[in-house]
Each structure stands twice: as C-alpha cells, then as structure tokens.
Amino acid sequence: MCAVPYKAFVSYSHAADGKLAPTLQAALERFAKPWNQMRAMRVFVDKASLSANPGLWSTIEAALDESEYFLLLASPSSAQSLWVQKEVEHWAQLGRARQLLIALTEGDIVWAQGDGDFDWNQSTALPRALRQTMPEEPLYVDLRWVKSESHLSLQDPRFTDAVASLAARMRGIPKDDLYGEHVLQHRKAVRLRRIATTALAVLTLAALAASVVALRQRNEAIRQANMAVGRQLAAQSESARIQGARLLPYSLLLAAESMRTFPSVEADQAIRDGLSLIPRQLAVMQHEDAVTEMAVQPNGGRIATATAGGVLRIWNADGGADRRLLEHHGRVSRIAFSPDGKRLAAVDGDRLLRIWDADSGKQTSSGPTAIGRTERIAFSADGALLAANTIAGSRSTVTVWNAATGEVVRTLPLDKGTPFSLGLAFGDGVLACVAYSRIRAWDTNTWNELPPPDMPPSQFADIRFLPDGKHLVAGGGSGKLWIWDLSARKTVVVEAPTLSAIAISADGKYVAAATRAGQVQVWQSEDWKTVTTVTHGAEIASLAFSTSGTILAAAGADGLATLWAIPGGQKLASLDHGGAVAGVAFTADGRRMVTASADKSARIWAAGAGADVAEMPGGEDSTIAFATHVPAFVKLRDQSVWIWRPAESRMETVPLADPMGSPTLSPNGQFIAGSGADGVVRI
C-alpha cells in the first residue's frame, strides 16, 4: 500500500448529501483514533478540504491522484451530477476500481448477475461512468436511513456500524478488530478525559486552597500591619498625652485612629486615658483684673477671691455664682478663711486686718497691721487667733490679733535686714515664721520664744505644720527638707532639690514639695521615704492636696494645673486655665478644685475628672483663701474682699478703704482677717 496524503476521496452531490459528507468525513477520521493523534486517517471532502485556488478541477484531480480509496455517496442526484461523473471517470482511468467504495444514501442499486454489471435500468443511484468498471458485485453500505435523522454521531449504533464497515476496508483491518479498537480507544479517551477532568478538578481545588491560604496570609499580613500601625498610633497618642493639655486633642485623634485601624487594649486605654484628661468647663468666675489671692472655705461651700484691683468677692463653689462684694479699701494683699469656715480675713490698703462673717458678708472686727507689706496671714487651729507678718524696708513684724474682736494680742518684731521670705504657720499652741533665713517660734499661751531648731540658716521658701501641730516642715534653696519635731526638740533632714512650695495632705500622711524645675516630690511622713516624683514641666507656683489626700494638684506659670494620683503618681488630668496660675486649692469635699490666674479669672474644676465647674468674674486678684471646715472662699479684688459660699450659690463683697495684705479665712468660715499698709488688722 503506497503512502498517499488521503486515505479516501469522498464524491457526492452537494444537493443531496451536502450535510452528510462532512459528517461522514469527521466520523471516518475519528473512528478508532488513538487518543494522542489528531485523526486516524485523512479523508478528502471538497467542501471541507479545499481552499481558495485558481483551478478547481486540477485541484480535485490532484486530490484524486493522491487518494487511496474513492468513496461514492450514491444517490439519484449524484448520478446526474457532472462533477461526480468526472470524478468517477478519472478514478476509473487510474485503474483503481477495486478501491472504489459505495455508500447508498438515496435511490437503488441493482446488480445484473448475468451481465456482470449493474442493472442500469433499475439502478437509479449510480452514474453511467461506472458501466463495466466493477469486476464483480460490490458490497455497498446502505445509508438511506440517514435522511430521516436530524443529528448523526458515533453515538448512533447504526451510523457507527456503517462507519466501521467503510473504515475497516480503508484501513485494512477486520471490521470486528477495528470496532474493538474503536471501543478500546473510546474507553481510553473517556478514561483520559476523566483523569484530565479529575486532575483539572484537583488542580482547581489546589489553586483554590492556595488562593485561600494566600488570602489568609494576606489578611494576616494586613492584620499584622494594622496591629503595628495601631500600636504605633496608640504609643504616639500616649506620647502626645503626657506632653500636656495642648496636645490632648491630637492625642485623642491618634487614639481614635488607633482604635479604627486595629481595635486593641492599648487603643482602648489610650482613648480612656485621653478622655479622662479632658477638662470640662462648667463655669467661669470672671474678674475685672488679675486674680492674685484665693481662699476656699474649709467645708467647700464658698470661694473667696481678691484681684489686683482690690476687689474681694465670695463665690459659690458649685457653680461660681457671684454672691457679693466685701467692703474694704485699697488693694487686698492676703485673704484666709478661719478653720471652721465661718470667718474670712483680709488685709486691705488701709493697713487694716478686716474679718467678715462668711455667711452674711458683714464685717465683724478689724485691727491695724504693722506698717509695711503683709506677706502672710494665718488663723490658729481653733480660729481664736489670727497672725500676719509684714515687711517695711529692713524691718519685719508679726502681729497677732484676737480673731473675734480684732484686738492686737501680741506684736513680735523680727530681726532687721532684708528677709528672703516670711513664711507663717500656726501649730499646736505654737506660732512659727520664717525671717532672715531662720525659723522662729513662740508659745501662743505665754508668747515666750521657743529655742530655735537645729537648722542652719537657709532661704526657706515655705513652712507648714503637719495636722498634729507638733511637726513643722520647712524647705527652700538648701536642697533639703527639714522636719522640726517641737515636742522632742529635734530635727529630721531629708535630701530634696531646691524647693519652691510645700503641701501637706489633710491626714498628714503625705508631704509634697515643688521644685523650681517643675518637679514635685512626695514623701510619706511616717518614715520620710519618697513615694513618687512627678513632673509638671514648668515652674510651680502652688501645690495642694485633695481632702482625701489621694489627688495632688500643681499649678504654675504655664497656665496648667496638673492632677496626679497619690501615691502612685499617675497623671489624672491636665487642666488648661489659659493664663499663668498663681494659686490652686481643693474644696473640703474634694470634688472641686479652684485655680486663680492673672488672666482675670478663677476657675472651678471637678477634681476627679478635671472638669471646670465654675469661673468667678473678677480682675487682677491678689489673694485667695479657703476656710478649713466649711465651704467658704475669699479673695481680694478692687480694694474689696469677696466672699463666696458655693453651697449657697451666693457671693458677698466687703469694700476696703485701703489696700490690704493677704486675708485669712477662719476655719469655720465666719471671720476674715487682714492687715493693711497702716498696720491695722481688720476682722
């Protein structure tokens, strides 16, 4: 068998078998086809095999020459077709009659046994060109049934059998063997198809699994990145928060962004820490001049403020309501409430110490002060005595009055010279003061001066008695904190930085001292060990403990009042007053805190959360004093003593004839004492 490009040439009528011929071509090429081959054999069908060319017949002629078998789709239409006639004639000329196969699609084929040829009278499907070309009767394949079929494929057993008959002859393989091969190849193809489908499914699943893993890894990477960014934002929020109140909004924004980016304990804590520091201003005590003095009634009901213009007012500590002006003359230099909060004392420009009833605002007594500038005024623990120290040139004096009558009980001249400070404090039957770098003390029963403590001369900035009245705490520029035990007549020395202010908790458990560098050191008085050191950041002008001793406030020139938890030292709030803060104090209930400033206002804050409760109007106040046991507060303003009773939402004003030094409010809030430039103490 010669090698030719085509295994078979299909000759047919386009009109009769135009659809069957390509279908049969495809079936013959695919029948028993190995799975790895494109086709089992090449079959020429002009409609499917020819491309555009300038010579149609020559191309068909060449295909006939190159074909091994000639397959005639016999039908009356093909019998009458000139092209089929020419194709049959050319095949006959090639001498390949034994390689001509017939598939009857329509009409009849009848063999005349006696003539050795077709019966041309009855054979309607064959072209005349086949006359006398067949040496014997051919076995043709009957496909006349396909005319009634709309779809032909190898899934149809009849069509498969017909294709097998034709392909077996063309390929020289017995029909049974070829049919078996077709079944085998079909099974292989199905199996391979299943394997391929399974493999594809496995690959798809693997790809899906890989994509899921990749997606999870991507999500985890994003989560880790968000976690890192969230924690960084939380850390930045904390860093901004601890830098001060001015960065608090920025700190909260960072904390909120941290929570949005990656919710975490750190972000939640940053938000809570920031929110806890937001000062909520509820009221403002506005003044006409700078607030220079402030006093809070011991039971917390009232606040007294004094301004640089000499106005003294009393306010309500709950809401800052202006109650009344206190009559006085001139600038008020110092104010103080009595321990019971019933009296308010102030020193005005007439050099008079004036004392008012903190409830009614009426002046109850007055007394002259020593000539000079009043530095401090202080009530004794029982409120019976009131003392003030004054400086006139190189001479300084301590004057003691009967707080009820205003009568001078004792005048204590101090050494000549230029004093560094004139601290003043009452203890248990003792009056102590600082003069000319020394501490001096007198027995208030006999007015005999006590032996001086074993302390070297020092620039003492402040002195305070512990609540027991028997231990005096002093500090200043010596770099030491001195504790003088008056009962045992001995001193204890604690190393400390240069101090500018001292505060003692109400129970005497803690002592705090501020440095000029803006730090606050806190000791426990039991053993004088440091419990915490906190940083305010600017020079501190005033320190105060809450009544419970659990909150410490520090205020200074930066306009901030900072609250810390004691003894832990955690920062609770940073309150922005707006102007340099000259004084800070807590009300007796510990719920409110008052700050006085040169910005012409005193503000009341909720001590726990740092909420601004009230602001008293005013001016340039010079002195503020609190009563110890009742809610009363006095300050000097516009040559008046202002008495504020927060619980009653009322304020009283006592005018002063002349400028007054620092007034002092009796502990019960009923008497105010103050001395003027004329040396008269008024009550």
Token code pair at residue 135: 């040496």
Mean pLDDT to the nearest integer, 175-200: 85
What is the residue-averaged pLDDT of the chain? 80
Instruction: Point out the least confidently predicted range of 86-95, 165-174, 358-367.
Output: 358-367
Domain boundaries, the chain: 6-173, 200-276, 284-677
Tell me phi and psi for residue 16, to 5 degrees. Answer: -90, -40
Structure token digits, residue 356: 């008012």
CB of 673 within 8 A of CB of 384?
A: no
pLDDT bucket at 610, cuts 50 / 70 / 90: very low
- Give this prediction's pTM: 0.51
Query: Residue 91 and residue 456: Cα distance in Å, rounded?
Result: 142
Structural contact between residues 85 and 94, judged by C-beta atoms closer than 8 angstroms? no
Which tokens go with 628?
């110890």
3-state secondary structure string, 243-256? CCHHHHHHHHHHHH
Q: Residues 660-668: what's their mean pLDDT?
A: 60
Q: Which whole number is the average pLDDT over 125-141?
A: 89
Query: How confident is the model over 423-475, as pLDDT tens digits?
Result: 677 778 888 887 767 788 888 888 888 888 877 777 777 788 888 888 888 87
Q: What is the mean pLDDT of residues 76-92?
A: 93
pLDDT of residue 353: 78
Whether the pLDDT of residue 329 is over 70: the answer is no
- Whole-number Cα distances in Å, 249 to 70, 112, 241, 420, 581: 96, 114, 9, 42, 22
pLDDT of the residue at 109 = 93
Q: Which two tokens stand for residue 476?
A: 């200043």
Helix (H, G, I), strand (E, B) or coil at 160: helix
Tokens linked to 670: 């009923």
Contact 545, 563 (CB under 8 A): no
Residue with the bigger pLDDT between 595 and 45: it is 45
Across-strand partners of 556? 540
> Residue 612's pLDDT band (boundaries 50, 70, 90)?
very low
pLDDT score for 66: 92
Give the pLDDT band of residue 246 (cuts 50, 70, 90): low
Rounded Cα distance, 674 and 671, in Å: 10
- More confident position, 580 or 117: 117
Q: Which is more confident, 162 or 310?
A: 162
pLDDT of 611 strictly over 60: no
pLDDT tops 70 at residue 620 = no
Angle formed at CA 301 by CA 298 and CA 304, multiple of 5 degrees: 75
Can you tell me the distance from the alpha carbon of 179 to that of 187, in angstroms, rounded to the nearest whole number? 12
Question: What is the rounded distance in angstroms from the CA atom of residue 683 to the CA atom of residue 671?
Answer: 6
pLDDT for position 289: 76
**Predicted local distance difference test score (pLDDT) of residue 123:** 92
Q: What is the DSSP string of 461-475?
A: EEEEE-TTSSEEEEE
C-alpha distance from residue 548 to each of 117, 170, 507, 571, 608 (Å): 135, 115, 8, 17, 12
Q: Is the dihedral of CA 186, 190, 196, 199 positive or negative?
A: negative
Give the β-pairing of 352-357 and 424-426. unpaired
What class has domain 6-173?
alpha beta
* DSSP H stretches of helix in 371-429: none
Q: What percent of the chain has pLDDT over 90?
A: 17
Cα separation of 287 and 620, whole Å? 7
Cα–Cα dist 602/612, whole Å? 10
The reported pLDDT for the residue numbered 663 is 63
| Residues ≥6 apart with Cβ < 8 Å to 490 | 454, 484
Longest dimension (CA), the chain: 174
Bond preceding residue 567 cis, omega within 30 of 0: yes
CA atoms within 13 A on the CB side of 271: 13
- pLDDT value of position 3: 47
- At 322 the pLDDT is 58
Per-residue confidence at 1, pLDDT binned at 50, 70, 90?
A: very low
Which pLDDT band holds residue 251 (cuts at 50, 70, 90)? Answer: confident
DSSP track, 96-119: -GGGEEEEE-SS---EETTTTEE-
Q: What is the pLDDT of residue 579?
A: 78
More confident residue, 160 or 680: 160
Q: Is the distance from CB of 229 to CB of 241 less than 8 angstroms?
A: no
Q: What is the model's pLDDT at position 613?
A: 46
Angle formed at CA 242 by CA 237 and CA 247, multiple of 5 degrees:
65
Give the model's pLDDT for residue 420: 46
In this predicted structure, what is the pLDDT of residue 601? 77
206, amino acid identity: A
Q: What is the pLDDT of residues 11-48, one digit of tens each?
A: 999 999 989 999 999 999 998 888 888 888 999 998 76
User: Whose CA is closest to 427, among 480, 487, 367?
Assistant: 487
Going by pLDDT thresholds of 50, 70 and 90, the confidence category of residue 52 is low
Query: Other CB atoms closer than 10 Å to residue 307's CB: what's the count?
Result: 36
| pLDDT, position 278 | 67
Of 81-95, 137-151, 179-193, 360-374, give the lowest mean pLDDT range: 360-374
CA distance 228 to 208: 29
- Residues 670, 357 contacting (CB under 8 angstroms): yes
| Full DSSP string of 489-538 | TEEEEEE---EEEEEE-TTSSEEEEEETTSEEEEEETTTTEEEEEEE-SS
- CA dihedral sign of residues 652, 657, 658, 661: negative
Mean pLDDT along residues 156-175: 89
Contact 40, 30 (CB under 8 A): yes
What is the per-residue pLDDT for 74?
A: 94
Q: Which CATH architecture has domain 284-677?
A: 7 Propeller (2.130)
Count other C-beta atoms under 10 Å from residue 540's C-beta. Answer: 27
Which range is most confident: 109-123, 284-298, 637-651?
Answer: 109-123
Cα separation, 189 vs 207, in Å, equals: 26
Q: Is the pLDDT of residue 367 over 70?
A: yes
Q: Helix (H, G, I), strand (E, B), or coil: what is residue 597?
A: strand
Tell me, what's the pLDDT at 396? 75
Question: Which of 72-81, 429-438, 544-553 shows the highest mean pLDDT?
Answer: 72-81
Q: Which of 245, 303, 247 is nearest to 596 (CA)?
A: 303
